[in-house]
A and B are shown apart, each in its own frame.
Chain A
């Protein structure tokens, strides 16, 4: 019974059924299934399968996005029951992400959020039109390993530099790697403003984040 429910959680993610995932999560709690196991052996396993299929070119972004959504919504049901208990498979790292102030473009950033989630990162998405202060306040609160800044407009791209500067001022800069992305941005711009990385698309965003994670782990 308990195993069947964990299976169902995985199946719901793999078959892109958001409501099923939520329902299975509720039933799992009622049946006394260990929520940590339900996440690790159910939801996360399902998402890995979808991620692999995406990598192999068998499924595409709509499947990936819905699988992530199913996982997120089911997690929201399970998480309160965990209440401080440690999850064995910790996320690879914590990413705070958002679109710059003055910019209300959502989709590119949301794809990056989903891809990072699939890759095993914990993503805190601040949404769009995010002022510098909000990035900083949230960074102080959640202590992320990475901050992702997105911008589709040349004008809002200029604000990225202010985030990097504000992080330095708040003494957070050394703890956080800053990765930028969006149509007008470039590696040169990242270098110019002192960001740690630039991603041309969502796939590269994951690569850059993983690469920076490795250099971080390598350094003493």
Chain B
């Protein structure tokens, strides 16, 4: 039915193939019969011109099934995300996973003072440089909403900081219509032009419908503008189970999928072949406190399930996983993020945003970011699975060593241990008791703090070429002047 370039099924499947199809059929019917509200005149006109039933007064579009199917065929099944040095490109394809920090935190947990406060430019520079140094968090994000710039342009002020301090690809987003235009210009400067950026996208933009079944003017326009410029857009439905989506996982999946498909249709009608990622940020509403929770197991289950639907459509997938609802870097941060990061890898989700994030998605912590990097390493190793062939079965070796022998000094061990064993950094405690005591009896948060400080001291990201940096600075200056 749809193209599929997927190399094999993901290791984790929470719903059966029949169930995926059942949800797909239900979403298609929902779009056709109930429709979506779109608070964007241009989008409504675009849909209307394509033969979709649009009620302009209610801003409601009912999308027929054949149009959704056409859009599904047009969207590319793989996306290559380019890095500015060419060394950190990421292919969003099959079950390959790319982790990046959770984005747009309003707060920062200061690793020096332990205080939660509004972040400033320097904090984002530190976060980006630290991420640049990490092995398993392979992409960047505009992770902090910095407070020392005019707030109406806080969205676009983040991107140049990332571009200047790291060569890794970026997951970002705009908070306004103009924001995206300014950010697109920044990316074009670094890519070397408009066509170059369209050909080699370096950044993904998040666009979030408002559950249930609604698109706001800004996010809808962002989606259309991304499609126009051939910039990959992550469509991120955010049903809150029991509040803005049915409390049942299956019901929220139907709605989530319908919202995604409505965005996909807008993108593909704008520009056939526009790169779109099947994303999401569902949350569970805590029925005691009325809080939206990301560390909840149902949230993670919904992520893994909609990713199965995305894979059924043959599209790259995304999820917010690796975030914790706790306020400090503690055991809850570890287990919530750990479970989520591992599930995401097993589900083969291509872009996983979350590392570093605490307190729902409201506070970034550098200590948590380095701990999450270690978790991501374990998850990536897990996703590689168990390799079984003549060499790994090692029958000849077992015969050779024989009963009572030892393997440590064997060439087979030397040849294979780096491939088979993940060697985590010193952050992860693996030493003997006495050695741990001698090193100051530190817990992981303390070791993480030291690791953060060491990386910030010693890691030097590849700078932008000076002429590019000059152009970028010039643009930022003109934007700031406009918004004085």
Interface residues of A (CB under 8 A from B): 57, 60-62, 102-108, 111, 153-155, 158, 183-184, 186, 188, 201-203
Contacts and interface: CB of A to CB of B under 8 A. Distances in A.
B447 to A, nearest CB: 31
A107 B287 contact: no
| Across the A-B interface, the 5 shortest Cβ-Cβ residue pairs | A60-B287, A107-B243, A111-B290, A202-B290, A61-B287
B152 A184 contact: no
Contacts of B155: 154
A154 B216 contact: no
A154 B154 contact: yes
Nearest to A200: B291
Contacts of B40: none
Contact of B152 (A104, A158, A183): A158
Nearest to B215: A104
Given A105-B210, A155-B175, A201 B291 contact: yes
Contacts of B218: 102, 155
Interface string B230-252: 00000000001011100100000
Given A102-B216, A154-B145, A155-B152, A61 B285 contact: yes
A184 B210 contact: no
A201 B118 contact: no
A188 B107 CA distance: 12
Interface in B32-46: 39
Interface in B10-40: 39
Contacts of B242: 62
A201 B291 CA distance: 7
Interface residues of B, number: 31
Contact of A104 (B107, B214, B247): B214
Contacts of B106: 154, 183-184, 186
Interface string B101-142: 000101100000000001000000000000000000000000
Contact of B175 (A61, A108, A153): A153
Contacts of B360: 183
A104 B210 contact: yes
Contacts of A203: 289-290
Contact of B288 (A57, A107, A188): A57
Given A153-B175, A158-B152, A183-B362, A104 B290 contact: no
Contacts of A111: 290
A201 B325 CA distance: 14
A107 B210 CA distance: 11
Interface in B68-82: none
A166 B216 CA distance: 26
Interface in B255-303: 285, 287-292
B175 A60 contact: no
A84 B190 CA distance: 69
Interface of A is mostly: loop
A60 B210 contact: no
A57 B286 CA distance: 12
Given A103-B216, A154-B104, 11 more contacts: A61-B287, A61-B288, A102-B218, A104-B39, A107-B240, A107-B285, A154-B151, A158-B152, A184-B145, A202-B290, A203-B290
A203 B290 CA distance: 9
A201 B287 contact: no
A112 to B, nearest CB: 8
A153 B104 CA distance: 11
Interface in B131-166: 145, 151-152, 154-155
B326 interface: no
A62 B176 CA distance: 34
Interface in B187-218: 210, 214, 216-218
A60 B362 contact: no
B287 A62 contact: yes
Contacts of A61: 285, 287-288, 290
26 contacts: A57-B288, A60-B287, A60-B288, A61-B290, A62-B242, A62-B287, A102-B216, A102-B217, A102-B218, A103-B216, A104-B39, A104-B210, A105-B210, A107-B240, A107-B243, A108-B290, A154-B151, A155-B152, A155-B175, A155-B218, A158-B151, A186-B107, A201-B289, A201-B291, A202-B289, A203-B290
B211 to A, nearest CB: 9
Contacts of A105: 210
Contacts of A102: 216-218
Contacts of B244: 106-107
Nearest to A110: B243
Nearest to A115: B290
Contacts of A103: 216
A104 B360 CA distance: 20
A118 to B, nearest CB: 13
B371 to A, nearest CB: 24
A87 B217 CA distance: 44
Nearest to B217: A102
B214 A154 contact: no
A105 B212 CA distance: 10
A155 B244 CA distance: 21
Interface string B405-422: 000000000000000000
A106 B285 CA distance: 13
A60 B289 CA distance: 9
Contacts of A108: 290
Interface in B332-384: 360, 362
Contacts of B247: 62
Given A61-B287, A104-B39, A104-B214, A154 B175 contact: yes
A153 B173 CA distance: 13
Contacts of B145: 154, 184
Nearest to A188: B118
Nearest to B244: A107
A186 to B, nearest CB: 7
A62 B285 CA distance: 11
Contacts of B210: 104-105
Nearest to B179: A155
A108 B289 CA distance: 11
A203 B291 CA distance: 11
A167 B154 CA distance: 27
